[in-house]
Structure 1
Amino acid sequence: MRVRICFLAIVILCSFSFILVRSLNEEGRVLLEFKALLNDSNGYLASWNQLDSNPCNWTGIACTRLRTVTSVDLNGMNLSGTLSPLICKLHGLRKLNVSTNFISGPIPRDLSLCRSLEVLDLCTNRFHGVIPIQLTMIITLKKLYLCENYLFGSIPRQIGSLSSLQELVIYSNNLTGLIPPSTGKLRQLRIIRAGRNAFSGVIPPEISGCESLKVLGLAENLLEGSLPKQLEKLQNLTDLILWQNRLSGEIPPSVGNITRLEVLALHENYFTGSIPREIGKLTKMKRLYLYTNQLTGEIPREIGNLTDAAEIDFSENQLTGFIPKEFGQILNLKLLHLFENILLGPIPRELGELTLLEKLDLSINRLNGTIPRELQFLTYLVDLQLFDNQLEGTIPPLIGFYSNFSVLDMSANSLSGPIPAHFCRFQTLILLSVGSNKLSGNIPRDLKTCKSLTKLMLGDNWLTGSLPAELFNLQNLTALELHQNWLSGYISADLGKLKNLERLRLANNNFTGEIPPEIGNLTKIVGLNISSNQLTGHIPKELGSCVTIQRLDLSGNRFSGYIPQDLVPDTAVFQRMDSSNFAGNHRLCNSQRSHCQPLVPHSDSKLSWLVNGSQRQKILTITCMVIGSVFLITFLAICWAIKRREPAFVALEDQTKPDVMDSYYFPKKGFTYQGLVDATRNFSEDVLLGRGACGTVYKAEMSDGEVIAVKKLNSRGEGASSDNSFRAEISTLGKIRHRNIVKLYGFCYHQNSNLLLYEYMSKGSLGEQLQRGEKNCLLDWNARYRIALGAAEGLCYLHHDCRPQIVHRDIKSNNILLDELFQAHVGDFGLAKLIDLSYSKSMSAVAGSYGYIAPEYAYTMKVTEKCDIYSFGVVLLELITGKPPVQPLEQGGDLVNWVRRSIRNMVPTIEMFDARLDTNDKRTIHEMSLVLKIALFCTSNSPASRPTMREVVAMITEARGSSSLSTSSITSETPLEEANSSKEIDFVASP
């Protein structure tokens, strides 16, 4: 018995000793307290076991040989909750990384107690509040990463106390105020990345004290003033990134003294003057971006010294003179963009020396001469855009034989000769546009190899012959434009093979025969124009299958027979048609008449100019006489009318200079130009509401107390009649009346100033509201839903109820304005165009804003309503996630890819939603999930898969009105599956 008792005592004693040995040490207990405030939904921290003696083998923990914790790295573990300052009880902690999680709340002030901390990484979370001043007390800190959160306020002016700091990364927050001059005390600082905030003021000259600085990134802020000359002291600087600010003045020649520069990004500012010759000193330059400024003068020949440069973009300025042949010395060049300037002369043959060149865009200039044959030997060239110039001669015959083209646009020149046969040797061409030239001969049969071609634009040339059978094997075509040529023969039944076709233009040719019934296979067709030919027979009933059509023109042919009522589908486009769509077909009858009588052309009907042989000269002579008479009579009538009648918009004289009569037009509100000057305090910064690509907006309180918004368009020294953005806005907004469209009250042109008067929106833009921190954001889900629906209805009105159709071209959250009741109003038509679907034109200048641009625009350079729908889908994603449209490259580069990646990774939907929203309400979660589906539907990679805005309005309405979306609204191919529970939703990847 005693033996058993002794044995039992020994066992108990040994067990107790074992427990003592296995007891978790102090640092382990600190980490468990730290973990207690975190929600580890994926179980990444399951190895944090209190039965261990120390935490050194735990996930994310690193220790010294003496088992002292030095690093806590919890990056990308899907953690939520708050950050506990108890972590600072780890006295040897040198690195704390909780980036890419969903941790919220303010940054704890007591993190200043981490006296040994060298790396603090809180990026890509949901922290809000200000940057605690106490962080500047961690004098050991070398790397401070606070990017992609909801922080507001300013950078602590004591930032200069962090004498050991090497990297400061705070981009993508809501930070404001000035860049502290004390930043210049950080002698060891190598990287500043503070872009995508709202910093204002000037770049402090004191920053030149950061003698170790390599990267200075302050893009996408509100910085003003000129570039400090003192920047030349930063002799270690490799990256100077200041794009999309309000910087102005000339680019100082001293920038050439920063000889280690590899990236200079000054684009999208207001720089004036010429490009300094000293830029040629930057011999290590790899990427030089000066586009979208107001630069003038010639491109300096010293540009040829930048022999290491891979990308140079000077587009969208006012540069003049010749293209320097010295570009040919930059043998590493892969991208050269000089489009939309005023460049003259020939294209230098020396560009053919750039054997690595991939993208060359010289469009929208005044270049003349021939296309250098040397360009046809550039084997890496994939994107060549020369459109809208004055180029002559033939297209080099081997163009495309050596080059693997994706985009080739030479339209709107004076090119002649045949179309080369080798465009598609590598079968990668997506866009081919050589329209509006003087090309002759037949359409080459070799186009049969263009299997990937989506846009073929050959219209407005001198092409002859029939349509080659090989053309109808290009089954990826979405646009085929062959109008205004001398093409003849029959329209083949093989046309029906082009089932992806959205736009077909065969007008003004000599086609004969009947329209093949296979045309009914074009179920995606949006615009169809076969007017002004010699087509005969009946209009095929199969045309009624083209229910997506929005523009149809069959006029100027020889069709006969009835248009049976039962063959006209019950769709809007057919119901809106009048006789002008069929005019000139003298044997065609309206079935609604009791006796078959020829259709009488509408007053605005289009008449054919194509007639047979001997009559053509006579008709042309008579036509010229008639047109001349009409112009003379019209001119005299206008002059008489101006003197006699009172216009709907009352002309207003400048009361300060009565002898000056510019264009002043307003509704009858009694506004005067001087009144606008007084109301805006002479366009003072104090009443500034915002700046955009087209102009600056001011708040104006008129003498009668009415508050309006005055937009002063950026002027290029041209009159109102020649300012494209001015005319675009006037021709659209002036005629629009809709509750979800910003009203245009009036406009004027005065001494090179173009002014637009808008309805004032007291709550600013949706983008501004979404950028606010958690405490200041006024948008709950109900408000966001109403904004989504209102903006959709406004855009739907532009797409479906305006004639001609209006495509906005720049839908983004900053262009959705909010009134006092947070009702949405679509605004800023600075880039708006009146789009005639059958007359859309290629444009090289980017239409839209980064993060919102539809993927197909990159290779088509054409804007359709489907581009608007993609952009609107991005806005919906902003409303749901609270994230900006542009994301870091490691997260996909943009919001759409981030959402898709999150879905692929099976991230719970609730974690994707904006943390400022109430995610405890099941109905809210369900509605947001449905709107998320709609957003991904809108942002489909395929334009044809995107809904119309009418469908979007219906789906958003239905998201709130029913428990789930019907199959008629979103098909089974929708990117998202239905919700399984209120807290977690399963996803499948979008197509």
Structure 2
Amino acid sequence: MLQFSFFLISIITATTVVVADNDDDSAFMLNLLNSLKPPPSGWSSDTQFCKWDDKIKCDSSNRHVTSIDLSSRNLAGTLPSNLNSLTQLTILNLQNNNFSGPLPSLANLSSLTIAYLGNNQFNAVPPAAFSGLTSLQNLSISKNDFQPWTFPSELTQSSNLNYLDFDFANINGTLPDIFNNFTSLTELHLAYNNLIGELPNSLATSSIQKLWLNNNKFGLTGSIAVIANMTQLTQVWLHVNQFTGPIPDLTQCTNLYELLLRDNHLTGLVPVSLLNNMPSLQTVSLRNNDLQGPFPVFKNKNVKFEADGRNHFCLGNKTGPCNDMVMVMLQIAGGFGYPLKLAQSWTGNDPCQGSIAGIVIIVVLFVVAVLFVSWKCCSRKRLRKFARVSNPENGKGNVKLDLARVSNGYGGVPSELQSQSSGDYSQLHGFDGGSDVNPTISIDILRQVTNDFSDDNILGRGGFGIVYKGELPDGTKIAVKRMISVASGSKGLNEFEAEISVLTKVRHRHLVALMGYCINGNERLLVYEHMPQGTLTQHLYRKSDNQSGCLRVWGSFDGTDHRVLINKEDIPKAIDQTLDPDEETMLSIYEVAELAGHCTVREPYQRPDMGHAVNVLGPLVQLWKPTTQIDEGSYGVDNQTSLAEALRRWQAHEGTSMIFSDISSSQTQTSSKSPLFAGNFDSPDCR
């Protein structure tokens, strides 16, 4: 019996030893030894693997490998495919050797933090080779001979990834929009691959400092605007691709020291902010693009800069300002994103050189067509953004009020505009957006977003007061119309009330949207969405030593500078002869030209009021009413109603409105000139 017991104990002990032997990393290490050509010095099957080399490190039990460092030892061979059986492995460094065959899968090595496999001759990446690497921080597989493959999306499981080097890795296709998952990623190297498509938007939320995407064989395309929001950038290599569009404002990238954008198709002007407001910038390459405007000159003379080759600066590589007409044309082109065809066909300092007129017209027509189709497709959806509220005057009918803009900010998200007002607005009975609407805005917020109404934020001046630009914390651009102080009392309040009432009820794609208002003592302030392309005055006027205050209309993109003509005899000369207007048509043209002269004089107080313009144009609208009407129903405008009738309806509907109260009913059918504008086309101020 005793002998049998010893026999059982021996069996159990032997079994335990066998299990333990199969549970360590010896099998893989022996396979690794046999695959290496030549085997490293000191490696032998007669020695326990943890003692082979000081570059092989094991855990305290000497049964599991934790680190393998064989870099730069001129080793060759094919690695065992079951490398991911090393469950305790934290560091794997095999770079700068001659290993060949498929890259061994690293899947599910949950302890692995560093894997350097670059500069070898691996020829394939197995599927899901990088899944389950939850502790991974640094990964490099650059400079191998991989067959074409795509960027591994399973890397999103490596949320601690800090360094990723896939240069020269033969990656094809587009980059997935997954970089918001890498909150710790500081270096992304994807140069010399076959990537195509646009830069992922998720790059904007990353912490990347060094971005290498240069020399992709087929070329990344689209805009590089996303890098403007990558505020941690220090080094940007985007050269030798197919990027288009303008260089964005990079002033948020305060640590950027190297910007390489050469050999792309970037267009437009080099941003002034890049030239003057980048304190850390050391190297900039813009060579071989399609950039326009004046040759860039950096404020910091120590910046190493190149912009030669294929660019389209107005004076070539010479410094100096461009022709004013060229700058106007570039402003127009900027509204369309600086089309590449335009940049490539336009060189020199002549706005009329090349085939430029036809290209611009094609671009304009294309954009108009796209906007028209988009409007038709989205018009019904836009209706959902409007709520119906009761008419405050008679309790009948409905008016349209954009609650999303006036009450809840953009996209239904409560805006900081919805703070309490500093003034008493309880008397504003004419504006009633319903109980849920509170478009009042705190004067403190308006002071904050306009830098206390700083002169640097002035957008324009007029008879009504001054308009300031501002920006909310969420990035929303606004324009604050600070009206000239009015005397206290009901009259000023009623006038302000009338303007708010009209602006909140009229919706049209050509009218800027009112976002809110503020009453602060005798001050009246209106807040609109900001239109970034400048004021109408800036586009209509151009200062000149000889003539000032004359309307200029940029016609047909041929550089011709048209003015409102100073006498009737010259007007027919400016009309396209293919129109062949008869006498009746010419009478209408004379009336419109005369009105244009009055409305475009330099001083605002000399211009007629809107009532006078309505009186002049109203009969002409009825006379020349088009046979086909564009449906404006979704914008709150009825084209079937004459201007005169619409005016009468507004007066009756608004009650307290003072805007049109000075227009007598006898003026609605005839065109009469205001006494302020006595004179004719022969006046010296071009009226």
TM-score over 0.5 for the alignment? Answer: no
Larger Rg: 2
Higher relative contact order (CA 8 A, sep 6+): 2
After TM superposition, the score normalised by the length of structure 1 is 0.28
